[in-house]
Structure 1
Amino acid sequence: MIRLNRLDGESFLLNAELIKYVESRPDTFITLTTGDRIVVSQPPDEVLRLTLEYHQTKSLLPPAARRPTQPEPHA
């Protein structure tokens, strides 16, 4: 997820996996793979930077720790 701001300043999180393309018209429009469009206050270069950072770090997080289960009885 990346943190962005709407034009009114409201902050929100966007799943960066859903970004299809980003346009400057002059506001920044993000088109999602779902067909939805979002207008944000960040310039396209900032959206690109945040998206690249997200993709670079997403595989660096360790997997969630598993809860220990009941020990198996010894045979």
Structure 2
Amino acid sequence: MISLTRLNGSKYYLNADLIMSVEGTPDTVITLTNGAKFVVKNRPEEIIKMVVQYQRQVHNPEPEMESQRGE
């Protein structure tokens, strides 16, 4: 999930796997795979970076350190 900001300043989380497109027209419009659209304050480039970071965490997680497992 990525954190986004609505035009009114409130924050919410969106499942990044559902994003079909991101447009800057001049407001940023996110279109989901189901056709739903969201207008946000975040710049398209910022959203793309968040999605890439999210995908890296999901598909290539860091190996767990022994100290993190409580050993």
More helix by share: 2
Structure having the higher Rg: 1
For structure 1, list consecutive stretches of 5 or more residues without a partner in the other structure: 63-75
Matched AA of 2:14: L
Residue 50 of structure 2: aligned partner: 50
Structure 1 segment 21-36 matched on structure 2, within 5 A? 21-36=21-36
- TM-score, normalising length from structure 2? 0.83
Q: Deviations over 1:10-42 (max 9, x none)?
A: 000000000000001100000000100000100
Q: Distance in 2 between matches of 1:38 and 1:61?
A: 31
Matched AA of 1:43: R
Q: 1:25 to 1:51 in 2, by over 3 A?
A: same
Q: Distance in 2 between matches of 1:38 and 1:51?
A: 16
Runs of 4+ residues over 3 Å off in structure 1: none
- TM-score, normalising length from structure 1? 0.79
For structure 2, list consecutive stretches of 5 or more residues without a partner in the other structure: 64-71
The count of residues paired between Structure 1 and Structure 2 equals 62
**Identical-pair percentage:** 44
CA shift, 1:58, in A, is 1.1
Aligned alpha-carbon RMSD (Å): 1.3
